[in-house]
Structure 1
Amino acid sequence: MLTTTLFESVFNRSPFGHYLLSPTPDATILAVNDAFLKASARTRDELVGVSLFKAFPGDPADPADVGEASLRDSLAKVRTSSQPDTLPAIRYPIPIVLPNGETIFEERFWTATSTPVFGADGELLCISHSNIDVTDQLKSEAALRESEQRLREADRRKDEFLAMLSHELRNPLAPIGAAAELLQRTTLDEDVLARTSQIIGRQVRHMTALIDDLLDVSRVTRGLVELDQALLDVGAVLHEAVEQVTPLIESRGHSLALNLPPHGTQIQADRKRLVQVIANLLGNAAKYTPDGGRLGVNAFGRDGWLCIDVLDNGIGMAPELAARAFELFTQAERASDRSSGGLGLGLALVKSLVELHGGVVACDSAGPGQGSRFSVCLPGLHAPPVAAPAPNEQPASTAAPLRVLVVDDNVDAAVILSMLLEANGHQVQVEHDPLEALEALDATLDHPPQACLLDIGLPGIDGLELARRLRARPGTARALLVAITGYGQDSDRQQILQAGFDHHLVKPIDIAQLYALLDGAG
């Protein structure tokens, strides 16, 4: 009755797992199709004639396993109501016997439908049971929900970051604008003029630091940063990092305890980047610690690794914030005046730079108000070597003044730069159009410029083409060519040097660096 050729053909060709059960409480397996045998990794001899609950017992080690109980209840409902019943996505571990005889359970999820099968006289002959494995579907749905949640969170933090960036960049523009208005007045004493200049300088440095952070994160996350590694004195690196943060620490009245490894301990690392990492962590601690707080830097060696802990007794972190402290755009709560914090880039940059060195980072906090500890561990620690002799002092510069050509279509920038150069003794010619600059050089063939400071984004021809033409002229073929530009990517630098420039300075430039370049050309 149950084994006709037509029934077996349809039963076995179904892509879903099917088996027929006796209408008795023990639910003996009467027949099973090929799809279920494949899914359960069993044979017909192992299943047919055996109680379903003996063939597939629940996991006795897992009290949360309710698959067997749910299935018993469902089959009992079918027997008493003579109506189909479906169990949506029940958890049902599949036992797997290993070659060594050990049984393990693979967690699977099934939608199970039990349907009564009646004879011509209305008698319940058996229960047809079908299983559809939805494990992969459920996992995909869970992964999709998790991914959607991560995207929503990333989008929220991105929006917060853009709002923060707008605020942080507008903040320094206000005093710069006010200072510009003040400088237009004709009756300014030297004290007011000096303070106004200092305000502009501080705010420009602040804006430059924000932009540098953005560019650094972009370069590091895209794998465009190459480390310039050398054997470094750990104590000197830490002192340099502390020096950078000292003004902030002193302004907030913090005390700092600095514990160094033995004198002469060295690490193989990139000096600039390692200083950046420690200064970033220490500055972060200073910002999020109320005035008069305590900070600490502990450096020690462990099994060939250098470990550096930066500690504070500041605002601390909740566990959920500590868990994602090194993620991009993450930052703690800040006061309404935004006197603390930044763009949420610093710790993400720290993590990237440390991992670039092959190291690891971590942070922990006992909770809000309980302070924080940030830890950095780097490989490549070296035992203290014999102290090296102190380097000779460099002689003071005695370079002669130069004839300098400045070409920049930003009139204010060109004028300010020429004033700085003239204050340092140089003779400066300013042009705002590159073609007019070339014409002006034709009129002064006997006294060509010895150095040319060129903007790149110029009207008519750009600074790259202007540099090529200057190199082609006898009078300026050997002149010092310095690009002064807002284009600061590595690809920009390569293109600039290929055009014939000797140096590439990114706006706002370091004037001391420019003076040094001109001194070297004198």
Structure 2
Amino acid sequence: MCSGHRNRASSGSSQRRGMSIDSQSVRSEQHTEVGFIIARDASILIERWCKRAMEEQPNAKRVHHEALRDQFVDLLAALGRSLAQSDSPDQSLHRFPAIEHGEQRWESGWSLPEVVRDYQILRLVILEYLVETLDRHVRAREVMAIGLALDEAIAASVGMYVSNREQFILAIGQERLEQEKQAKAGLEKWEQIFQHAGWGVAILNAVDHTLQTVNPAFAQMHGYAIEELAGKPLNLCLAPEAHADWLMNAGLVDQNGNHVYESVHIRKDGTRFPVLTHATTVRDEADKPLYQAANFQDITHRKELEESLRRQAEALRQIDQRKDEFLAMLAHELRNPLASLLNAANALRLSGIRDDNVADATDIVERQVKYMVRMVDDLLDVTRISLGKLELRKQRFDLAAAITQAAQISRPLIEARKHELTVHLPAQSLCLEADRARVEQMLVNLLTNAAKYSDPGGKISVMAAREEDWAVLRVRDTGVGIPRDMLLRIFGLFTQLDSTRARSGGGLGIGLTLVHRLVKMHGGEVTAHSDGPGRGSEFVLKLPIGNAQQRPGDSEKDRQTNQVPPRHILLIEDNADGRVTLQRLLQLLGHRVDIAEDGVRGVAAALANRPQVALIDIGLPTMDGYEVAEKIRAELGKKIFLIALTGYGQTNDRRRALEAGFDAHVTKPVDITELSALLAALAPVTS
């Protein structure tokens, strides 16, 4: 019984095994049919899935269900092929392409619950459709097998989703960690700068400008602890007188984004100090102010240095002023004795004495006096140019006349050293618009330099020509030459080639400096050329022609003493030698000359004798020449011609003389030709 039971059991078992083999074969056939149906009816399944998915997941993120239709076509086709070609759905799951569906959902931004529910809806739709289609052929267990296969596919796909997501999160996390690490390193660096900077740094509220954060240097600069300043207004650190300016500067920071300004700050102990501030407004992406960052530098040392430099500059200015005053006084004091010497020489020349020795002595005195006068004038001119006080008086003139005059002035020195002078004038008249006196002065200095630095018996030449819009003058000599290293320095003040030769030749080393500065004032240039020591030298002077045009009859007046009608002249001069010698010279020229030794006597003599001309020295005792001129002009009006006679020859001196009522200004020592020209130009005046 027992065995029978066992046999029945065994027989039953064998039957079940046989049935299992048969059913496996059946399932295989059914899998093929199921796969065929899924592949064939994929569009129907998709429509059902889409409708149900939209009903159950209306808020699925980022990607609309309609956009997944193409993905489900591939998914169902792959599922159908897998079921149709596989003996066992369990074995096909490892290569089941549905896994890609999870990746697509992940890349599209779906959440994990959304992906799982998406698969569940798909599974349910497929199973329901299979039951509807195969209800007469497929047993429940087969449907369950298909369901299990789908479940495993879903699990694999979700697993891939989770894996990708975790890998992404891990990668993002690592990237963020690296960024945070770099950001932390950057913050640490800036924190080090903030904490250890040698200047004050503060972060201020963008609205009320209270101090949010300050570094130790800012706190120390103002004598506070850091915690004492937190939340305090910046005004706490500003001197009261700086508050108004600070409000204006804060507005400029807000308006322009950044601003640099100076202000006065105050320490906790009340001491004030200057500060340079550089403030910047920091804004967010919407251009809304977040805060202000400002650097504060204590510029006490800089201000002290600036004040020191200002005091030094003022001291130098005063030194320059005293130097100018000294040079002007020196020139005045030198001109008085020089005037006496020149007057005496001219008087001897006009005296009619026919003695060769007297004539030679007269020539020597006149030549040396004029040379000394030129040195004094050059020294004063260099000073005036340096201070910007020398003004050019430009006029049209023929360059040939200026060259001839310069040669005449330089000829005594050239002949004394037995040099040969050759002058080559342009074939056609060459007119300039320039200061003729300064052009002559430059040429005289170049000729004098050539004469001094050439051994006796040398050759000197002057050549003039027009080159485009320039008048070019060349002064050549056969003298000592110029070393190459001196060519660029030769125009420096007080520069001389050789001290021994310079002392023997005379001079102060200012002639070439004056030439260089005067030609620059004219907009020209001067250059020096030499092949070296002992090879001579050449100076090339280039002057712009300007607007000068040659016009018929536009010739210069000859500088000669024309026959001057006798004049009644009052000479007011406190220097006895100058007074006597000039009086005698004027008398020899045929003029009637009254004299007065001071201003008071001069005014009285003018009112009593009513002369045609008054020569008035400016530096008179008791009453200076300006006041004398004003008083005489007030009484006699234009009936008298007033000439300022002075050793002060600067532009301001001439201007002041004209403002005081003088008609002309003559610098001592008097050039008798210039004075005679003034007297000759006077209309006959009856007293």
C-alpha deviations, 1:280-318, integer Å up to 9, x for none?
222212211112223333434434333333222211222
Q: CA deviation at 1:495?
A: 1.7
> C-alpha separation between the residues in 1 aligned to 2:538 and 2:561?
44
Is 2:597 the counterpart of 1:435? no
Q: CA deviation at 1:493?
A: 1.5
Which residue is equivalent to 2:613?
451
Query: Pairwise CA RMSD of aligned residues?
Result: 4.3
C-alpha deviations, 1:395-433, integer Å up to 9, x for none?
996654333222222222212222222222222222213
Amino acid at match of 2:675: L
Q: CA deviation at 1:328?
A: 1.4
Write out aligned runs for 1:413-424 (5 A): 413-424=578-589
Which residue is equivalent to 2:667?
506
> C-alpha separation between the residues in 2 aligned to 1:237 and 1:395?
14
> C-alpha separation between the residues in 2 aligned to 1:391 and 1:280?
22
Write out aligned runs for 1:162-181 (5 A): none
> C-alpha separation between the residues in 2 aligned to 1:394 and 1:297?
21
Cα 1:263–1:304 change in 2 (3 A) is: same
Judge conservation of contact 2:564–2:676 (CA < 8 Å) in 1.
no
Is 2:629 the counterpart of 1:464? no
Which residue is equivalent to 2:471?
306
C-alpha deviations, 1:39-84, integer Å up to 9, x for none?
xxxxxxxxxxxxxxxxxxxxxxxxxxxxxxxxxxxxxxxxxxxxxx
Judge conservation of contact 1:324–1:330 (CA < 8 Å) in 2.
yes
Which residue is equivalent to 2:452?
287
> C-alpha separation between the residues in 1 aligned to 2:486 and 2:432?
31
Which residue is equivalent to 1:34?
none
Gaps of 5+ in 2: 1-180, 199-315, 317-322
Which residue is equivalent to 1:518?
679
Which residue is equivalent to 2:308?
none
Which of 512, 516, 520 is the matching residue for 1:355? Answer: 520
Judge conservation of contact 2:559–2:673 (CA < 8 Å) in 1.
no
Judge conservation of contact 1:288–1:341 (CA < 8 Å) in 2.
no
> C-alpha separation between the residues in 2 aligned to 1:193 and 1:279?
27
Q: CA deviation at 1:12?
A: 5.1
Amino acid at match of 1:358: G
Cα 1:285–1:433 change in 2 (3 A) is: closer
Q: CA deviation at 1:258?
A: 4.2
> C-alpha separation between the residues in 1 aligned to 2:655 and 2:585?
28
> C-alpha separation between the residues in 1 aligned to 2:579 and 2:618?
13
> C-alpha separation between the residues in 2 aligned to 1:384 and 1:459?
49
C-alpha deviations, 1:487-507, integer Å up to 9, x for none?
212112122122222221111
> C-alpha separation between the residues in 2 aligned to 1:323 and 1:393?
38
Q: CA deviation at 1:208?
A: 0.9
Q: CA deviation at 1:211?
A: 0.9
Name the SS of the counterpart of 1:421 in structure 2.
Answer: helix
Cα 1:467–1:314 change in 2 (3 A) is: same
Cα 1:256–1:496 change in 2 (3 A) is: closer
> C-alpha separation between the residues in 2 aligned to 1:276 and 1:395?
19
Name the SS of the counterpart of 1:297 in structure 2.
Answer: strand
Name the SS of the counterpart of 1:225 in structure 2.
Answer: coil
Judge conservation of contact 1:317–1:366 (CA < 8 Å) in 2.
yes
TM-score (norm 2): 0.46
Q: CA deviation at 1:508?
A: 1.0
TM-score (norm 1): 0.59
Cα 1:264–1:468 change in 2 (3 A) is: closer
Is 2:646 the counterpart of 1:485? yes
Which is higher, the Rg of structure 1 or of structure 2?
2
User: Could you tell which deviates more after superposition, 478-487 or 306-315?
Assistant: 306-315
Q: CA deviation at 1:434?
A: 2.4
Cα 1:270–1:433 change in 2 (3 A) is: closer
Amino acid at match of 1:280: N
Judge conservation of contact 2:433–2:548 (CA < 8 Å) in 1.
no
Which residue is equivalent to 1:495?
656
Amino acid at match of 2:612: Q
Judge conservation of contact 1:456–1:464 (CA < 8 Å) in 2.
yes
> C-alpha separation between the residues in 2 aligned to 1:404 and 1:4?
96
Which residue is equivalent to 1:318?
483
Which residue is equivalent to 1:208?
373
Cα 1:251–1:397 change in 2 (3 A) is: closer
Judge conservation of contact 1:264–1:386 (CA < 8 Å) in 2.
no
Name the SS of the counterpart of 2:374 in structure 1.
Answer: helix
Which of 272, 296, 315 is the matching residue for 2:461? Answer: 296
Write out aligned runs for 1:388-403 (5 A): 400-403=565-568
Cα 1:240–1:408 change in 2 (3 A) is: closer
> C-alpha separation between the residues in 2 aligned to 1:382 and 1:405?
42
Judge conservation of contact 2:523–2:544 (CA < 8 Å) in 1.
yes
Name the SS of the counterpart of 1:335 in structure 2.
Answer: helix
Q: CA deviation at 1:213?
A: 0.8
Cα 1:390–1:335 change in 2 (3 A) is: same
Judge conservation of contact 1:331–1:341 (CA < 8 Å) in 2.
no
> C-alpha separation between the residues in 2 aligned to 1:194 and 1:363?
39
Name the SS of the counterpart of 2:503 in structure 1.
Answer: coil
> C-alpha separation between the residues in 2 aligned to 1:312 and 1:468?
52
Q: CA deviation at 1:369?
A: 1.8
> C-alpha separation between the residues in 2 aligned to 1:302 and 1:352?
22
Amino acid at match of 1:369: G
> C-alpha separation between the residues in 2 aligned to 1:297 and 1:392?
23
Amino acid at match of 2:478: N
Which residue is equivalent to 2:635?
473
Cα 1:372–1:471 change in 2 (3 A) is: same
> C-alpha separation between the residues in 1 aligned to 2:465 and 2:559?
33
Determine which structure has the larger strand proportion and give its number: 1
Q: CA deviation at 1:394?
A: 11
Which residue is equivalent to 1:343?
508
Is 2:489 the counterpart of 1:327? no
Which residue is equivalent to 1:67?
none
| Equivalenced residues, count | 362
Cα 1:458–1:251 change in 2 (3 A) is: closer
Q: CA deviation at 1:256?
A: 4.1
Q: CA deviation at 1:390?
A: 7.6
Name the SS of the counterpart of 1:277 in structure 2.
Answer: helix
Write out aligned runs for 1:77-92 (5 A): none
Which residue is equivalent to 2:413?
248
Judge conservation of contact 1:176–1:203 (CA < 8 Å) in 2.
no
Write out aligned runs for 1:67-78 (5 A): none
Name the SS of the counterpart of 2:369 in structure 1.
Answer: helix
> C-alpha separation between the residues in 2 aligned to 1:226 and 1:5?
64
Gaps of 5+ in 1: 17-150, 152-157
C-alpha deviations, 1:20-47, integer Å up to 9, x for none?
xxxxxxxxxxxxxxxxxxxxxxxxxxxx
Q: CA deviation at 1:440?
A: 4.9
C-alpha deviations, 1:443-474, integer Å up to 9, x for none?
x4xx5322222112222221211222212325
User: Could you tell which deviates more after superposition, 358-367 or 374-383?
Assistant: 374-383
Judge conservation of contact 2:526–2:540 (CA < 8 Å) in 1.
yes
